Amino acid sequence: MLSATDNELLTQVSAGTPMGDLMRRYWIPAVFSSEVEADGTPHRTRLFGEDLLVVRLTSGAVATMTPYCPHRTASLYFGRNEEEGLRCAYHGWKFAADGTCMDMPSEPPESNFKDKVTLKTYRTLERNGVIWTYMGPEQDSRRRCPTSSGTWCRSPTATSPSASPRTTTSRPSRARSTPATAASSTPTSSTPSGSNRSRSRG
């Protein structure tokens, strides 16, 4: 049995822990592509003990970001996803997919204060019906995302209609005919006649 120290070493995955730092060096599946719509409500998720928002912007690009505005920590989940950015519902600060601040309605046009504010985001890609995020060190952020052509984690309800005919094959019918053939070849019919002859001798 593992000691309490070893158990904590292997199971704690929050930021700054050995296993947390290791797992963050891999691309992690965050949500299904079908769970986020362009200009739609952000999708809440939690990875390695960290609350995150996954959003699909107007162009269809996806982004993973922290859920709180850096101004007054208001929840960006209740913000407006519009025109390639997520706008905080409190003071209207708007953030792009890379975390840069796009707009501060309360600042004068000549102000450059928005250039000094950023929202923490993670590199995000979309592959095979899944949105992936990379939460590791910045120097490893170009680590390749999985590119398999297969379908990931699809439930029966998520299977596309075009795939339905391929799931129907002739195998079940052949499987049913095999026992019937085997049954017909066994001498089951001789058993009752043998029993009748034994009774007639009595």
Place of tokens 């706008």: 87
Distance CA 198, CA 202 (A): 7
- Nearest in space to 53 (alpha carbons), one of 39, 38, 68: 68
**pLDDT tens-digit series, residues 7-26:** 999 999 988 999 999 999 99
Place of tokens 């997520």: 86
In this structure, what token pair is assigned to residue 197? 């002859």
The residue extents of the domains of the chain are: 32-136
Whole-number pLDDT of residue 138: 76
pLDDT at 192 over 50: no
Whole-number pLDDT of residue 87: 98
Mean residue pLDDT across the chain: 81
SS3 letters across 108-149? CCCCCHHHHCECCEEEEEEECCEEEEECCCHHHCCCCCCCCC
Interior angle at CA 35, CA 30 and CA 38, nearest 5: 110
Q: What does each C-alpha distance from 23 to 11, 12, 31, 93 come to in angstroms?
A: 11, 11, 17, 32
pLDDT at 183 over 60: no
Contacts (Cβ under 8 Å, ≥6 apart) of 8 = none
Average of per-residue pLDDT across 44-66: 97
pLDDT at 165 over 90: no
Q: What does each C-alpha distance from 91 to 4, 30, 69, 167, 177 come to in angstroms?
A: 46, 29, 10, 52, 71
Name residue 132's beta-bridge partners: 29, 125
Q: Which CATH superfamily is domain 32-136 in?
A: Rieske [2Fe-2S] iron-sulphur domain (2.102.10.10)
**pLDDT tens-digit series, residues 66-105:** 999 999 999 999 999 999 999 999 999 999 999 999 999 9
**Which pTM does this prediction carry?**
0.68
The alpha-helical segments, DSSP class H, found in 87-189 are: 164-167, 171-185
